[in-house]
Amino acid sequence: MTIAREPWKQELLSHEGLFAKLYDKLPKEFYFMRELLLSALWRSPEHWALEPEHE
């Protein structure tokens, strides 16, 4: 499994309007979780992958 950082960042950034529209209806934890995820993505490598399991 491999993950590319940029598509995930773009996806989260595209939610800005939705979060603004629902600001008073969503639990505040959702905003904090989104910010933490964005922060983690900004600091992550451009591509990363899980190593196959070895038996």
pLDDT in tens, 15-51: 999 999 998 999 999 999 999 999 998 888 888 787 7
Q: How far apart are CA 55 and CA 31, in angstroms?
A: 41
Question: Residue 33: its pLDDT value, please?
Answer: 94
Q: Please compute the mean of the pLDDT values over residues 50-55 and round it to a whole number.
A: 75
Q: How far apart are CA 24 and CA 39, in angstroms?
A: 23
Give residue 3's pLDDT band: very low, low, confident or very high (50, 70, 90). Answer: confident
Question: Residue 29: its pLDDT value, please?
Answer: 95
Please tell me the chain's helix, strand, coil percentages from 3-state DSSP, rounded to the nearest 5. 55, 10, 35
Instruction: Give yes or no for a contact between 34 and 15, defined as CB atoms under 8 angstroms apart.
Output: yes
User: Where is 5: in which H helix or E strand?
Assistant: helix 5-13
